């Protein structure tokens, strides 16, 4: 059974870069999209972006200018960097496995990391 374990800094100052890493254990790394999703305190879910095992990236247009998602296939890990953070980026950040059941669209997030609360405060 696949498990996702994530880590990274939980407290940042405005203008710093958020950096999180997610490791995948117990399952295949290929054939999936590896995703980042965030949830501000008390609010809903926002997709940040994802990367295929081949390295193709897809980003939320509202965050695209600040987001980089990368993958290290040999280590079954993928990472998120979000630059120039502000208080509005305070959220629980989740890594997740995206399963595509068809050739176009059909992405479902079927396994999730434990979440990391990232707080941006001066």
Partner 1 sequence: DIQMTQSPSSLSASVGDRVTITCRASQSISTYLNWYQQKPGKAPKLLISPASSLQSGVPSRFSGSGSGTDFTLTISSLQPEDFATYYCQQSYSTSWTFGQGTKVEIK
For residue 110, CA distances in Å to 3, 13, 51, 96 come to: 11, 32, 15, 7
61 DSSP 8-state letter = T
Tell me how far, at minimum, the Cβ of 42 lies from partner 1, in Å.
10
Instruction: Check residue 2 and report its DSSP letter.
Output: -
Backbone dihedral angles phi then psi of residue 59, each to the nearest 5 degrees:
-125, 150
Report in angstroms how near the CB of residue 18 gets to partner 1 at its nearest: 18
58-87 residues in contact with partner 1 (CB under 8 A) are 58-61
Q: What angle do CA 55, 57, 63 make, to 5 degrees?
A: 150
| Least Cβ distance, residue 54 to partner 1 (angstroms) | 16
Q: Does 44 contact partner 1 by CB under 8 A?
A: yes
Residue of the chain from 19, 47, 52, 83 that contacts partner 1 (CB under 8 A) = 47
* Binding region for partner 1 (CB under 8 A): 44-47, 58-61, 94, 96, 99, 101, 105-110, 112-115
């Amino acid at each position: 059974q696949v498990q996702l374990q994530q880590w990274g800094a939980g407290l940042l100052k405005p203008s710093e870069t958020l950096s999180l890493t997610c490791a995948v254990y117990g399952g295949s790394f290929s054939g999936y999209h590896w995703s980042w999703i965030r949830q501000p305190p008390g609010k809903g879910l926002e997709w940040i972006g994802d990367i295929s095992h081949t390295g193709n990236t897809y980003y939320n247009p509202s965050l695209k200018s600040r987001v980089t998602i990368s993958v290290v296939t040999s280590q079954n890990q993928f990472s998120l960097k979000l630059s120039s953070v502000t208080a509005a980026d305070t959220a629980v950040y989740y890594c997740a496995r995206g399963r595509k059941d068809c050739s176009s669209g059909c992405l479902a997030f079927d396994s999730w990391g434990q979440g990391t609360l990232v707080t941006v405060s001066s």
